[in-house]
């Protein structure tokens, strides 16, 4: 296990773009885990109807999968409700979110208490502002997670000057590599990258991170594209919960705008304020997670209840690609044959063969 601060020191020894690797080998009949001996792609999917209700009674024949535009044959199918879950909570504690920390803390207490099965599941907690900090490493203890939530607070203001790069091992993305006046900065992309690359990439079964943020990034050394790629390579769903005060009025937005550009369409670093919604929709859409907006009509407690329902009612679909085109990114499209059903699944994966 990583120590509380070791997560951030590890970046110096890890290349920005990790080696391409197979995400999803084939499930065994006994435990539904995956073996690296078979080239099988696995996709977790959630399905909702036109009333935004979770659909739980579909079969293998109700789905279609395309890879790079070519239809694939679904060979493995199951309904996942009891498979172990690894969950990461990434909380924005920058100045724009400071007034909401107590709300986030209180709702997250209840969420962990309700969703975490101490005999099967595990979770970790990260907060980010002008730095990224692991408050609690992977644990199945609700008590430890609650203790970590009690520590949620903005980081101390950094030094006004840039620190000597040697203090951070030569890697400016390591904690303390740069200082920013008045505690400014929101390292959202760095937080996603670190959670995915340093923690989730080593885990099996279902994996998801929940982002509590307004979506603004200021100061990350990782780009939006790299953050999304890290989550995709770690086979991790990203669920984004956006807090935007009076701007939040749309409630749940599911997959976000399908009309947005695909991978690589995000700003490399520090998008302008006001782009937070589009960025979070893109992160959720391309990783197979969901996008929510906190508002008076839909509180964080309400959203957490929806998330719990979604994470406990997923379908697992597996197929062997019909064509070996070498390593690289593969675009996926998962659809339901029945009308008025919306499938929420990742847009692609990275292949190593």
pLDDT, tens digit, 9 for 90 and up, residues 38-57: 588 999 999 999 998 999 99
The DSSP string of 266-288 is: S-SS-PPTT-HHHHHHHHHHHHT
Long-range contacts of 256-259 (CB under 8 A, 24+ apart): 256/280, 256/281, 256/282, 256/284, 256/285, 256/291, 257/281, 258/285
Q: What is the pLDDT along the chain (353 residues), one digit of tens a residue?
A: 444 444 443 433 333 323 223 333 334 433 333 333 458 899 999 999 999 899 999 999 999 999 999 999 999 999 887 889 999 999 999 988 988 999 999 999 999 999 999 999 999 999 999 999 999 999 999 999 999 999 999 887 654 332 333 333 333 333 333 233 333 579 999 999 999 999 999 998 899 999 999 999 999 999 999 999 999 999 999 999 999 754 433 343 443 333 333 333 333 334 444 489 999 999 999 999 999 999 989 999 999 999 999 998 999 999 999 988 788 899 999 999 998 999 999 999 888 76
CA–CA distance, 38 with 274 (Å, rounded to integer):
44
Can you give the pLDDT at residue 66?
A: 97
Could you tell me the CATH superfamily of domain 83-311? von Willebrand factor, type A domain (3.40.50.410)
**pLDDT reported for residue 158:** 52
What's CA 4's distance to the chain center, in Å?
Answer: 20
Neighbouring residues of 313: CB distance < 8 A, sequence distance ≥ 6: 46, 54, 56, 79, 81
Q: What is the pLDDT of residue 326?
A: 82
What pLDDT sits at residue 205? Answer: 87
């Amino acid at each position: 296990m990583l120590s509380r601060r070791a997560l951030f020191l590890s970046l110096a020894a890890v290349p920005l773009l990790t080696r391409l690797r197979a995400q999803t080998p084939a499930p065994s009949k006994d435990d539904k885990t995956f073996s690296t001996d078979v080239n099988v792609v696995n996709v977790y999917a959630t399905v909702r109807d036109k009333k935004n209700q979770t659909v739980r009674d579909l079969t293998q024949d109700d789905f279609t999968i395309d890879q790079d535009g070519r239809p694939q044959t679904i060979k493995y199918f199951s309904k996942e409700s009891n498979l172990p879950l690894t969950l990461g909570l990434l909380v924005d504690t920058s100045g724009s979110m400071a007034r909401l920390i107590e709300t986030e803390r209180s709702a997250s207490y209840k969420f962990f208490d309700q969703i975490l099965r101490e005999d099967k599941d595990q979770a970790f907690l990260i907060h980010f502002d002008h730095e990224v900090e692991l408050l609690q490493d992977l644990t199945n203890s609700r008590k430890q997670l609650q203790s970590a939530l009690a520590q949620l607070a903005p980081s101390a203001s950094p030094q006004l000057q840039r620190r000597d790069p040697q203090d951070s091992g030569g890697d400016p993305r390591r904690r303390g590599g740069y200082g920013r006046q008045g505690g400014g900065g929101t390292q959202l992309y760095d937080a996603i990258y670190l959670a995915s690359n340093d923690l989730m990439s080593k885990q099996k079964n279902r994996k998801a991170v929940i982002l509590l943020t307004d979506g603004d990034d200021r100061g990350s050394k990782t780009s939006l594209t790299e953050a999304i790629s890290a989550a995709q390579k770690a086979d991790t769903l990203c669920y984004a919960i956006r807090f935007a005060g009076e701007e939040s009025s749309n409630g749940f937005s599911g997959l976000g705008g399908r009309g947005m550009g695909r991978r690589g369409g995000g700003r490399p670093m520090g998008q302008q304020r006001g782009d937070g919604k589009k960025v979070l929709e893109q992160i959720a859409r391309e990783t197979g997670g969901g996008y929510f907006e906190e508002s008076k009509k839909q509180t964080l407690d309400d959203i957490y209840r929806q998330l719990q329902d979604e994470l406990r009612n997923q379908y697992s679909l597996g197929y062997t690609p019909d064509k070996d085109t070498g390593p690289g990114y593969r675009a996926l499209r998962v659809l339901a044959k029945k009308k008025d059903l919306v499938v929420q699944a990742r847009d692609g994966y990275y292949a190593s063969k």
